[in-house]
Structure 1
Amino acid sequence: AVPYLKYRYQLFAERKAANTEGKTGHNYIEEQAKLLPYESNEAFEDYNEMVIQYGFINLFVVAFPLTPLLAFANNVLEVHVDAVKLCFVHRRPFPHPAKDIGVWFYILRFMTYIALGTNTALILWTSDLFENQSGTARALGFVVACQVCLVLAILVERVVPDVPHEMKLLQERYKHIVNVVFKGLFEGDNSKLNEVAERLNLQIYPNQEWEEPKQHYA
């Protein structure tokens, strides 16, 4: 919020000075240039913040069951704060296409498996339901419960698809439209797959030796 307030105050001061001197204000490009650049570490910090929150929610959720509700309220506020940051505080970031979130997915998946053990341990060793059980019985129950939860988690991963069936159909339809309309390909047509583009002459000439290529007309 502080960088945004500083930016708004700077714009207010410049517009006031421009009105006093009879000059026009800055255009959109100049205003963008005055904003803070959106560095690559900004995206890393955003991902890191979400992963830390995910860890606190899942690793110790049985200790305070209202944690997911508080995290949801925080995320609703965070969405609006990030929107203000991207639209008004930082310059327009350059898009970097990516297939997925990369290594963050495996970190979240690993934390999910660890959460099975931490929550099971909290229930067995801190709950009043098992205070009369011996340490050996609790340890055995911990191993069995972890194995059962792990099997259920893997089963859910296999049964529930990452992409819904309707979305897969839309993606296939999009690929078909691109192949037919833009690439001129049809089903079973491989005639244009082996075409080689014309090579470009990338030879660099000094200024004194370069000549305009002669065009030959039929």
Structure 2
Amino acid sequence: MQALVPEYSESEQIGDYMQIVVNFGFVAMFGATCPSVTALCFLSSLPIKQLLAYKYSFARKRAIPRGAEGIGSWNSILRFVAYAGVTCTCYIVVFVYNIEAADTMRCTFLCFVISEHAAWPAKQLHHLVSC
């Protein structure tokens, strides 16, 4: 049966990873704006995981086993999206929610820069702990 199904191509692999990265990007960048988006992304990823498992098991030829340490270049893409999420979240919180009742744009921008520079070390610490 495995010989009759088509091979799992590299373009399909890229498409599968892109779907996961886009889902993560929405949560990382816009989770502060609408926290319910995180629940929707979680609920939408459950059937996708099941469909991918079915595809890997029955609808495509099994890949030749190769050893790998991680997910390759996708790791740097996910790391970039995570750091962009920190910047985007700080921007949304400061400029859109207007938590600081600033009289001038200069004061608001300064609040954004300070919050971003305070959040980046926390993200870097999280990266170091998770490795």
* Shared fold, TM over 0.5: yes
1:178 equivalent in structure 2: none
2:35 is matched with which residue: 56, 65, 76? 65
Cα-Cα RMSD: 1.7
Change (3 A) 1:45 1:96: farther
> Identity of counterpart residues, as a percentage?
24
1:50 is matched with which residue: 17, 20, 30? 20
CA distance in 2, matches of 1:136, 1:116: 21
1:85 is matched with which residue: 30, 55, 65? 55
CA distance in 1, matches of 2:15, 2:68: 17
- Structure 1 unaligned segments of length 5 or more: list them: 1-30, 163-218
1:10 equivalent in structure 2: none
- Kindly state the Cα deviation for residue 88 of structure 1 after the two structures are TM-superposed: 1.9
Whether contact under 8 Å (2:102, 2:108) holds in the other structure is no
> RCO higher in 1 or 2 (8 Å CA, sep ≥ 6)?
2
CA distance in 1, matches of 2:103, 2:24: 32
2:69 equivalent in structure 1: 99
1:120 equivalent in structure 2: 90
Bigger radius of gyration, 1 or 2?
1
Q: For each residue in 1:173-202, what CA deviation from the matched residue of structure 2 results, as whole angstroms up to 9, or x when unmatched? A: xxxxxxxxxxxxxxxxxxxxxxxxxxxxxx
Matched positions, count: 131
User: Aligned pair 1:149/2:119, yes or no?
Assistant: yes
Q: For each residue in 1:10-32, what CA deviation from the matched residue of structure 2 results, as whole angstroms up to 9, or x when unmatched? A: xxxxxxxxxxxxxxxxxxxxx22
Q: Which has the higher helix share?
A: 2
- Structure 2 unaligned segments of length 5 or more: list them: none
Q: Residue type matched to 1:66 in 2?
A: S
CA distance in 1, matches of 2:31, 2:81: 13
